C-alpha cells in the first residue's frame, strides 16, 4: 500500500482575498437579484413581443446565475466565504426595477435594463478597483461586464425605433 501525503492548497494573500471580496461581493449580490428579477419578468411579460422577450429573459437569467457563480467561486477560491442568501440579497441588492405582476413587454424590458444597469455599476467599480488588487479577479469582472453589456444590448434593441 502506498502512503500518499496531501498538502493543503496554498492560501491566498489575505490582502488580495479581502480586496477581491470587497469588489466582487456586490457583483454576486446584484447578479443574484438580477437572476430572480429576470425570472419574475420572464413569467409575467405580456404583449406582442412576448415570445422573443420571454426567451431572451431566460438567457439573461442564465448569464446572471453563471456570473454570480463565477464571482462567488473566485472569492471562495481565495479563502473567504460569500453570503448570497435570499435575505442578504433582498437587503443589499440595488436591482429592484422589475414589477411584481403582469407587465407589457416594453415596460418589462425597461425594468430589466434598469436592473442590469444597477449591476453594471458595481461590475465597473470591480473592474477598476481590481486592477490594483488582483488581475485574475479583474478578469472575472471583465467577463461578467461583457456578458451583461451583451444582454443589455439585446434588450435595448427591442426598444429601438
Residues 57-86 as b/e (b if ≥16 CB within 10 A, e otherwise) read beebbebbbebbebbbebbeebbbebebee
Answer yes or no: is 69 within a domain: yes
What pLDDT score was predicted for residue 6? 46
Could you tell me what percent of the chain has a pLDDT over 90?
A: 83
Name the strand (E) or helix (H) holding 10: none
Q: What is the extent of the structural domain holding 118? A: 14-159
**pLDDT confidence bin for 95, thresholds 50/70/90:** low
Residue whose C-alpha is closest to residue 28's, from 78, 79, 83, 80: 83
In this structure, is residue 78 part of a structural domain? yes
- Decide if 8 is inside a domain: no
**Number of domains into which the chain is organized:** 1
Amino acid at each position: 500500500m502506498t502512503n500518499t501525503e496531501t498538502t493543503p492548497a496554498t492560501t491566498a494573500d489575505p490582502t488580495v482575498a479581502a480586496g477581491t471580496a470587497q469588489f466582487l461581493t456586490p457583483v454576486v449580490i446584484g447578479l443574484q437579484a438580477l437572476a430572480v428579477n429576470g425570472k419574475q419578468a420572464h413569467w409575467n411579460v405580456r404583449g406582442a413581443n412576448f415570445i422573443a422577450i420571454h426567451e431572451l429573459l431566460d438567457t439573461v437569467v442564465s448569464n446572471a446565475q453563471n456570473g454570480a457563480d463565477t464571482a462567488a467561486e473566485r472569492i471562495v477560491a481565495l479563502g473567504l466565504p460569500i453570503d448570497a442568501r435570499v435575505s442578504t440579497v433582498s437587503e443589499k441588492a440595488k436591482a429592484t426595477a422589475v414589477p411584481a405582476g403582469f407587465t407589457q413587454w416594453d415596460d418589462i424590458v425597461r425594468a430589466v435594463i434598469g436592473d442590469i444597469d444597477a449591476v453594471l455599476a458595481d461590475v465597473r467599480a470591480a473592474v477598476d478597483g481590481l486592477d490594483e488588487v488582483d488581475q485574475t479577479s479583474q478578469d472575472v469582472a471583465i467577463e461578467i461586464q461583457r456578458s451583461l453589456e451583451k444582454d443589455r444590448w439585446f434588450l435595448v434593441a427591442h426598444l429601438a425605433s
